[in-house]
């Protein structure tokens, strides 16, 4: 199993403007999706007049899965597709585990995400006998724990949920202001050298082989969302953020010796987009999501990128009576959802 995602929506008294947003939370929404994840790490070493970059990519399998939504609950379950023999031979195999838990309503989206990835390859091949040979780095592994929030400042008329999980539909085109925050703990480890770090100790330069990087990222930034509606049922949605990222980091050698501990501040843009079709019951579409964390030292810049391209299709059914009774007797009674 690749990924399990559970979403719980908290009940609020204020309501959205039905001239702009139509809710389908009382329908039983069933869908299927195909997701293509991408992950890479850029190591840039700064020298006196030049800089060099090494890029490592994960060979991630596609994910096929299904979604189920009713009222304030949304569940997504995905399964990894098999690697082809050609892909394993050329790029090696990457193991990937993920978990996501979300709490949301029209005003905000709070998420906890975990990603664990083991096995990368050098994105720049070596040419031998007119063939591209990729250096496999099965020893490189990453872990990421992320607590994030997106706050919708125009939630009564602008829906950021509509292109994401299809429990709502934007009826009229609208622009909305957003705010994004996140705190994440990240770790990059390997059995061999990731980067080299040079320290001047007692006027003698000492070169350390860095095998582990741990860093804590705190991001915050404003954003803008756009939902464009064409011919009542076609939609294009996009969100863009400019985030400031404060990162505290530590470098360790193979023996666990800490050789550097410091912090950096960077600013960069993030984006997501979606395109699709929605009627009263049927929906289909494609969406792209991108995220990254960057930190600087006097000698290095390390950036981790993560992105997902997803195609989904689904239908909203009339919910059966037993589902409503069971929901009211459990989630409504005990959680007030």
Confidence class for position 205, pLDDT limits 50, 70, 90 = very low
- The pLDDT of 37-55, averaged and rounded, is 78
What are the tens digits of pLDDT across the range 137-168?
Answer: 888 999 999 999 999 999 999 998 888 888 88
Residue 200: what pLDDT?
41
- pLDDT at 48 > cutoff 70: no
| Of residues 47 and 92, more confidently modeled | 92
This prediction has a pTM of 0.80
Euclidean distance between CA atoms 183 and 220, whole angstroms? 9
Question: How many structural domains is the chain composed of?
Answer: 1
- Could you list the residue range(s) of the whole structural domain that residue 313 is in? 3-335
CATH number, domain with residue 202: 2.40.128
How far is CA 39 from each of CA 92, 117, 205, 217, rounded to the nearest angstrom? 14, 9, 34, 18
What are the tens digits of pLDDT across the range 53-88?
Answer: 788 999 988 889 898 888 777 788 888 888 766 677
């Amino acid at each position: 199993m690749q990924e399990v995602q559970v979403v719980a929506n908290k009940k609020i008294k204020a309501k959205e403007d039905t001239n702009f947003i139509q809710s389908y939370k009382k329908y039983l929404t069933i869908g299927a999706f195909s997701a293509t994840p991408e992950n890479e790490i850029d190591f840039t070493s700064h020298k006196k007049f030049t800089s060099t970059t090494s890029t490592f990519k994960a060979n991630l399998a596609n994910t096929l899965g299904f979604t189920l939504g009713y009222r304030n609950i949304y569940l997504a379950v995905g399964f990894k597709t098999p690697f082809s023999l050609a892909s394993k031979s050329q790029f090696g195999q990457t193991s990937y585990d993920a978990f996501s838990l979300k709490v949301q309503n029209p005003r905000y989206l709070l998420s906890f995400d975990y990603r664990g990835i083991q096995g990368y390859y050098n994105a720049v091949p070596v040419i031998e006998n007119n063939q591209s040979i990729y250096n496999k780095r099965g020893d490189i592994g990453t872990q990421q724990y992320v607590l994030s929030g997106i706050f919708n400042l125009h939630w009564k008329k602008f829906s950021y949920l509509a292109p994401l999980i299809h429990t709502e539909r934007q009826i009229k085109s609208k622009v909305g202001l957003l705010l994004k925050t996140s705190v994440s703990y990240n770790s990059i480890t390997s059995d061999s050298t990731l980067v080299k770090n040079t320290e001047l100790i007692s006027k003698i330069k000492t070169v350390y082989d860095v095998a582990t990087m741990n860093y804590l990222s705190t991001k915050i930034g404003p954003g803008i969302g756009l939902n464009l509606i064409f011919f009542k049922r076609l939609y294009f949605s996009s969100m863009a953020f400019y985030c400031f990222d404060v990162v505290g980091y530590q470098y360790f050698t193979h023996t666990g010796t800490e050789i550097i501990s410091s912090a950096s501040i960077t600013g960069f843009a993030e984006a997501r987009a979606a395109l699709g079709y929605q009627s009263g019951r049927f929906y289909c579409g494609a969406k792209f999501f991108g995220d990254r964390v960057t930190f600087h030292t006097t000698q290095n810049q390390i950036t981790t990128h993560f992105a997902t391209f997803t195609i989904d299709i689904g239908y909203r059914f009339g919910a059966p009576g037993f589902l409503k009774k069971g929901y009211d007797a459990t989630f409504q009674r005990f959680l007030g959802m």
